[in-house]
Amino acid sequence: MKTEQETEQTAGRPSGLCGGLRERKKRRTRDALVRAALELFVAKGYERTTVDEIADAVDVSQRTFFRYFSNKEEVAFALQELIETRFLTEVRARPAGEPPMPALRRAVTKAWLTIDEEMKAVAPPQLHMRMYQIIESTPALLAVHLRRQQETEERIAQEIARREGLDIDADPRPRVLVAAFAGAMRVAGKVWGEGDDWTSDAMRKLSDRYLAALEPALAQNWRTPSGN
């Protein structure tokens, strides 16, 4: 028999309060693995860190590591997982009458209001931020990152189609809107990671700026200066 291990994503609750000893222990090992991995990745780089080193740092076997994470990449995406989940939740919470684009923009703004707090549960924010830079600069991780984002895109597009009562395969607008939106967000995220202000407030401002640039960018005439 299999125990479901997706149960513990209850946000905002400190680890170790719920469930029996067995589950608490599992959560602790998992968090410890993430933390050790992030520290090692930041210290030595992703490729120069071996799974054995991560496992040794937490004093478990390599085999156990692979029981918690299906591969070495996955352990690097703790923060991303959080962001994606949070954003999706906020989109689902938008009022039904709201048009698609404003709904997405407000969802992203609201999501970033709470992400700060949540990520502290596993590792210090500084660590997450450095990890984000490593993801952007390590080809293998960047590739996985983009794939994960695309999976989120699809879920969001489905939610938008549902809200608007559209057949997602017949009307191109849900997927195209979300693709454009995600593209602008990706550019914003990249600039954020390369800059020096790693507050969530800075991220919100960048999102706004790049999303606002979407319509002017599609316009024919670029002669009017804008954007900065």
Residues that bind DNA (CB under 7 A): 1-3, 5, 20-23, 25-26, 29, 49-52, 59-64, 66-68, 70-73
CB of 139 to DNA, least distance (A): 11
Could you give the CA distance from residue 108 to residue 117 in angstroms, rounded to a whole number? Answer: 16
- Report what 62 binds from a copy of itself, DNA, none; CB cut-off 5-8 Å by kind: DNA
Q: Pick between residue 92 and residue 209 the one whose CB is nearest to a copy of itself.
A: 209
- Report what 1 binds from a copy of itself, DNA, none; CB cut-off 5-8 Å by kind: DNA
Q: Pick between residue 2 and residue 223 the one whose CB is nearest to DNA.
A: 2
Angle 143-149-153 (CA atoms, 0-180°, nearest 5)?
140
CB of 215 to DNA, least distance (A): 41
Helical spans, DSSP H, in 19-99: 21-44, 51-58, 62-68, 78-92
Could you give the CA distance from residue 151 to residue 216 in angstroms, rounded to a whole number? Answer: 27
Q: Pick between residue 71 and residue 226 the one whose CB is nearest to DNA.
A: 71
DSSP three-state, residue 16:
coil
Could you give the CA distance from residue 170 to residue 186 in angstroms, rounded to a whole number? Answer: 26
CB of 37 to DNA, least distance (A): 11
Sign of CA dihedral 63, 140, 186, 204: positive
Contacts of 91 (CB under 8 A, 6+ apart): 103, 104, 107, 156, 159, 160
CB of 151 to a copy of itself, least distance (A): 10
Q: Which residues bind a copy of itself (CB under 8 A)?
A: 99-102, 139, 142-144, 146-147, 150, 164, 166, 170-177, 179-180, 182-184, 186-187, 209-210, 213-218, 220-222, 226-228
- Report what 97 binds from DNA, a copy of itself, none; CB cut-off 5-8 Å by kind: none
Residue 74: its H or E element: none
Q: Pick between residue 171 and residue 201 the one whose CB is nearest to a copy of itself.
A: 171
